[in-house]
């Protein structure tokens, strides 16, 4: 999911918010939206299997996974985002490897577990850490959970915008939610990067990256 540079501190990340977000986004920007750079580093060595992209947004991560042999379920609350993502997948030649699901991830649950569950900057209408607890339950034994989020208290761009507190976490906080009798944490880091935002702005992102393997 593409990070939003202008969320209000009291923002409720519900369906109307995300539909408006994607309807206002310039369609031309969707075609070049790359997958999150942490994805390839953390997932590239895993054997392809089934994957869930929880909060897939523009579909960059789902398309990358499909192109690398994964059978992907991509879920998002916004029908606008899903329609655009499906068009991108078809144009990339991987449309048959992705199942698109319109779903509110605070209430929806899959009917199966996955070899890989990822989420990148998904902000649901529930506490962020509880959301990570929820999607972690969908990882199959021996499978992998990959969380990429905004670092709490960081991530301002040059205009002074930053993710609101309820949409940001720390690597330690995410890791602490994973019971060490059931999970092996492989990566738990906080990384700084910049990217070009709308209107030529430079957006600074302080990312939280946690990858964990569920014990078989």
Distance set, CA 91 to CA 50, 96, 99, 194 (Å)? 22, 11, 15, 28
Determine whether 193 is exposed, middle or buried from the number of CB atoms within 10 Å of its CB (0-12, 13-18, 19+): exposed
User: Could you report the per-residue pLDDT of 143-178, keeping only the tens digit for each?
Assistant: 999 999 999 765 444 344 555 667 789 999 999 999
- The whole-number pLDDT of residue 205 equals 85
Q: What angle do CA 161, 28, 157 make, to 5 degrees?
A: 15
Number of H helices, E strands in the chain: 7, 8
Q: What is the mean pLDDT of residues 5-9?
A: 47
Report whether 50 contacts 71 (CB < 8 A). Answer: yes
pTM for this model (two decimals): 0.86
Tokens of 74: 């991509």
Tens-digit pLDDT profile for residues 17-42? 777 878 776 444 444 578 999 999 99
Tokens of 87: 């068009």
CB of 89 closer than 8 Å to CB of 71: no
Listed in sequence order, the residues at least 6 apart from 104 whose beta carbon sits closer than 8 Å to its beta carbon are: 15, 77, 124, 125
Give φ, ψ of 41 to 5 degrees.
-65, -40
Please identify, in words, the CATH class of the domain defined by 15-214.
Answer: alpha beta
| Spans of all domains in the chain | 15-214
């Amino acid at each position: 999911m593409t990070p939003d540079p202008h969320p209000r501190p009291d923002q409720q990340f519900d369906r109307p918010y995300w539909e408006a977000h994607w309807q206002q986004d310039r369609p031309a920007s969707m075609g070049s939206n790359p997958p999150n750079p942490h994805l390839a580093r953390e997932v590239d060595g895993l054997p392809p299997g089934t994957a869930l992209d929880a909060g897939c947004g523009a579909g960059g991560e789902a398309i990358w996974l499909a192109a690398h042999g994964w059978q992907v379920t991509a879920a998002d609350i916004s029908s606008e985002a899903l329609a655009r993502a499906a068009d991108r997948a078809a144009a990339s030649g991987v449309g048959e490897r992705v199942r698109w699901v319109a779903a509110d991830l605070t209430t929806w649950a899959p009917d199966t577990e996955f070899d890989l569950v990822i989420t990148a900057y998904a902000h649901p209408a529930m506490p962020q850490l509880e959301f990570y607890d929820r999607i972690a339950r969908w990882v199959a034994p021996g499978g992998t959970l990959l969380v990429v989020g905004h670092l709490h208290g960081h991530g301002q761009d040059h205009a002074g915008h930053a993710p609101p507190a309820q949409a940001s976490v720390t690597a330690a906080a995410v890791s602490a939610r994973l019971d060490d009798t059931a999970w092996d944490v492989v990566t738990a880091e906080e990384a700084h990067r910049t990217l070009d935002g709308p209107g030529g702005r430079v957006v600074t992102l302080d990312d939280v990256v946690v990858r964990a393997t569920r014990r078989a």
